Amino acid sequence: MSITPEALSRDWFARVWNAGSEDAIHELLAADAQMHGLPTPDGKPVIGPQGFVPFWRKFRSAFPDIRITVERAVSQGDMVAVHCRVTGMHTGSGLGIAATQRPIEFWGMGMARSRDGKIVEAWNSFDFMTLYQQVGLLPASI
């Protein structure tokens, strides 16, 4: 029995982010998957686990207790769209600044296409501006 795109997406957030499993990244993300919308210096998609793991490690080191809750999910064919709430505490320096010990809470949406039980392409739109304001990388009011 094949895993549905929604179940795969929920598994991704539960295992990769909430449980902190790097092994799950390699299990659930295709080697040539394209991850759009993550902060990269050149604005290009992150490719596969090899490209995603460094981003994930930095983020998890800044927020080791990160919790991503899928509040809503809508599936159609091989695609799923999710609306997520992200919470945690800034207790590490993975963002390139000293830990602030401040709580974070922001929202985001993602869409993923899957094939054979793996994510093959994803589009991310998370409110990183709010996150950066909450940890002091940007002023609270712009």
pLDDT digits (tens, 9 = 90+) for 77-112: 999 999 999 999 999 998 889 999 999 999 999 999
Does some domain include residue 69?
yes
pLDDT at 74: 98
The answer on pLDDT for 73 being more than 90 is: yes
pLDDT at 142 over 70: no
* Domain around 90: 5-134
Residue 55 and residue 122: Cα distance in Å, rounded?
15
The mean of the pLDDT values for the chain is 95
Q: Which residue, 140, 136, 141, is CA-closest to 99? A: 136
65-77: average pLDDT:
98
Is 60 a domain residue? yes
Assign 1 a pLDDT band (cuts: 50, 70, 90). low
Residue 22 near residue 8 (C-beta atoms within 8 A): no
Count: domains in the chain: 1
Evaluate whether residue 140 is within a structural domain: no
Q: What is the CATH number of the domain that holds 102?
A: 3.10.450.50
Percent of residues, the chain, with pLDDT higher than 70? 99
What pLDDT is recorded for position 2? Answer: 79
In a domain, 36, yes or no: yes
38 located within any domain = yes
Within a domain: 142: no
Q: Is residue 22 part of a domain?
A: yes
Identify the H or E element spanning 29: strand 29-36
Domain presence at residue 139: no
